[in-house]
A = this chain, B = another copy of it.
Amino acid sequence: ESRLPGYATHQVGVAGKRGPRGGDCLWINWYEFLPNVWKFPGGLSDPGEDIGATAIREVFEETGVQSEFRSLLCIRQQHNHPGAFGMSDMYLICRLSPLTYDVSVCPHECLRCDWLGVAELAERVDATPITRRVASLLRYGLEQGFSSVDLSREDMPAVYTGLIYQLYHRKLPPGH
């Protein structure tokens, strides 16, 4: 039995976690529908759920690791997506920091799960191109500071409705 979602509108991946061994590592896993391919944990947003909340929830459900949101790293738009019944799919990859480290794999969702170094992952041929790319972003962020790759999140007031929305963009220096 698989709990993989039947359709998709927004998927949210997770990357950039600091590993349990003191080194900077990634949390990834292995899905049934893509055997032998390493990818990030993640899944579909519930209706009305924030991007970061989805990422935190999905990582916990799939791996047992608790984490907190740091930034938005990458956006993918794909048309005729097989996992979205041929509809367009928007896939958002977030950077999280772990609050716990022990792995508890959900057997319905993934076969294997481990911490890997971003430098190693960026070069692995059995990772997807987007996984390698995000690993390269993280490696660059570790070298140069994450402000070089992050999109910051800010709550903003909506005009007229009184609601709050979340805005993601390159962080501007103070005074700009």
The chain A residues found within 8 Å of chain B, CB to CB, are 9-10, 34, 37, 45, 47-51, 72-80, 82, 87-88, 90, 128-130, 133, 136-137, 139-140, 148-151, 156-161, 163, 165-170, 172-173, 176
CA distance A37 to B50 in the complex (A): 27
Q: Which residues of B contact A34 (CB under 8 A)?
A: 159-160
Known interface pairs A88-B47, A90-B10, A137-B170. Does A163 touch B77 (Cβ–Cβ under 8 Å)? Answer: no
Inter-subunit contact B76/A140 (CB<8 Å): no
Q: Which of B47, B159, B166 contacts A77 (CB 8 A)?
A: B166
CA distance A161 to B86 in the complex (A): 12
Known interface pairs A10-B90, A87-B47, A169-B133. Does A75 touch B176 (Cβ–Cβ under 8 Å)? Answer: no
Q: Which residues of B contact A172 (CB under 8 A)?
A: 136-137, 140, 149
Inter-subunit contact B78/A165 (CB<8 Å): yes
Known interface pairs A151-B75, A168-B75, A176-B140. Does A80 touch B157 (Cβ–Cβ under 8 Å)? Answer: no
A65–chain B nearest beta-carbon distance, Å: 24
Copy number in the complex reads: 2
- Which B residue's beta carbon lies closest to that of A157? B129
Inter-subunit contact A77/B51 (CB<8 Å): yes
Known interface pairs A140-B172, A170-B137. Does A163 touch B87 (Cβ–Cβ under 8 Å)? Answer: no
- Greatest chain B CB density within 10 A among A128, A157, A161, A167 is at A167
- Which B residue's beta carbon lies closest to that of A131? B159
Known interface pairs A37-B159, A130-B156. Does A168 touch B88 (Cβ–Cβ under 8 Å)? Answer: no
Known interface pairs A48-B88, A169-B133. Does A163 touch B79 (Cβ–Cβ under 8 Å)? Answer: yes
